[in-house]
Amino acid sequence: MKTSIIILTYNELALTKQCLNSIHKHTNVDDIELIIVDNGSTDGTVDYLKSLEKVQTIFNGKNLGFAKGCNQGVEVATGENILFLNNDTIVTKNWLQSMLKVLYKSEKVGMVGPVSNYVSGHQKIDVPYQTINEIDIFASEYCKENLEKTRQVLRLVGFCLLVKRDLIIKIGSFDERYEYGSFEDDDLCLRALQHGYELYIALDAFIHHHGHATFTGNQDIDINYLYLRNQQHFIDKWDIDLNYYMHPRYEIVQLVPMEAGKILDVGCGAGATGLELKNRQSCQLFGIELNPLAASFAKSHYQAVYEEDVEPLELALPDGYFDVILFADILEHLKDPGKVIQKYAQLLKPGGSMICSIPNILHAEALFPLLQGYWNYQNAGILDRTHLRFFTPNTVETLFPSDMFEIRTKKYNYIEVDPKVALFFNEVSHLAQKFDFSMNQLSDQIKIYQIIMHVIRKA
């Protein structure tokens, strides 16, 4: 089985040589074909590439961007697998073998990426080394500790991305509307998820990444402007800002019992929180998500996803079916959240957990403008225009009747406020004491952004 490694170059000759040397050092050359696409280099890279043997090269007269260059490489690739690799990387021992093992552990796996020192998201790890010479020693020890460990994710970064050719044939390669670079890899991941493929990180494959070398060495590209423009292309193409649906709630995950087998995730979005649970423990995930696009991504790893409004929905499941039910920032959107909690409690087994995240209307983000006479709804945040019900740390417990639930924990997520605003509310608290008004907790409550409730259904 052959892997076609596609590398783009745009100046930065020294880094390209470093990358290719590491490939020859740590890869069986009989198992790969190297395809290098140059996007108009002017620093001697072209002459260097022409001198290489057993390397297929494509020379563009100008910078056609990451997506276009990679697609050119795909057109001439003959391998069963396609690997996109930045030229500012250094690969290490067993890098490709480890990723291939994950890629073919299941027919559903479509894309795999490594861990790295410089990358966004779940692929980033902390590294202790200070020099290039220390990379191999670190990688050998780290990968041995994480041998054959994996992590399923919703997103992989294109600096090093291993893809089955069948996936490319089925969904296409990179969308060339994302000029130069940024978001073309996010777009490819989402299309893969929509077609039922799974994405994994091979935790025992480490690649050093210098990061943004092409942009840093070529000042004619404004990376910030490019990012914002491609981000807008991404939002326009998918018709929603998917970031809202793609982030896992780690504080929710931490409260889910390890022994929980069946979990209902109400408002599951793209299933990011459920995926973190699936990586941590053996469980069956069920979701309810009104947005059909987000639900389509969750379906790749959830047992079932109901694309319906949670309030009128009647699940044809027996009482006590679930071990855990999650309501992460959902209750504030409902007409009658208390009624919904009591209805869904019937699906929770006695002793089962209900875990809810609820915004605090007392946070200074909402309270301070109110005192100035404003209650302006926003597209996101505590005053999200889709919020229908509001709660404070003192009133949220009314959602959980004492005859049905036992409160296990009540935790808070804090977001600090402007020091001047904090000082104002401190003075309000002191003034209230003179009139025997109880506002001792106000100074703390204005910093509470979300209330996390973990309750247990009573027998």
Last residue of a domain, one of 220, 239, 258: 239
> Do 38 and 106 share a domain, yes or no?
yes
Number of domains in the chain: 2
> Do 234 and 248 share a domain, yes or no?
no
Query: Using one digit for the tens of pLDDT, what is the confidence trace for 95-125?
Result: 999 999 999 999 999 999 999 999 999 999 9
> Do 217 and 302 share a domain, yes or no?
no
- In 197-312, which ranges are continuous DSSP H helix? 213-216, 223-238, 243-246, 250-253, 272-280, 292-298
Residue 32: give the domain boundaries: 3-239
Q: Which two tokens stand for residue 295?
A: 């639900």
Query: Using one digit for the tens of pLDDT, what is the confidence trace for 402-424?
Result: 999 999 999 999 999 999 999 99
> Do 402 and 328 share a domain, yes or no?
yes
> Do 127 and 183 share a domain, yes or no?
yes
> Do 192 and 222 share a domain, yes or no?
yes
> Do 255 and 324 share a domain, yes or no?
yes
> Do 251 and 322 share a domain, yes or no?
yes
pLDDT in tens, the chain (459 residues): 899 999 999 999 999 999 999 999 999 999 999 999 999 999 999 999 999 999 999 999 999 999 999 999 999 999 999 999 999 999 999 999 999 999 999 999 999 999 999 999 999 999 999 999 999 999 999 999 999 999 999 999 999 999 999 999 999 999 998 987 789 999 999 999 999 899 999 999 999 999 866 655 555 667 888 888 888 889 899 988 887 888 899 999 999 999 999 999 999 999 999 999 999 999 999 999 999 999 999 998 999 999 999 999 999 999 999 999 999 999 999 999 999 999 999 999 999 999 999 999 999 999 999 999 999 999 889 999 999 999 999 999 999 999 999 999 999 999 999 999 999 999 898 888 777 777 778 889 999 999 999 999 998
> Do 189 and 256 share a domain, yes or no?
no
Residue 433, judged by CB atoms within 10 A of its CB (0-12, 13-18, 19+), counts as exposed
Last residue of a domain, one of 189, 214, 239: 239
> Do 444 and 420 share a domain, yes or no?
yes
- CA-wise closest residue to 399 among 363, 362, 361, 358: 358
Task: Say whether pTM exceeds 0.85.
Answer: yes
Q: Say if residues 344 and 325 touch (Cβ distance below 8 Å).
A: yes
> Do 207 and 248 share a domain, yes or no?
no
Cα–Cα distance, 337 to 387 (Å, whole number): 11
CA 89, distance to chain mean position in Å, is: 22
> Do 232 and 248 share a domain, yes or no?
no
Could you tell me the CATH number of the domain that includes residue 401? 3.40.50.150
CA 380, distance to chain mean position in Å, is: 19
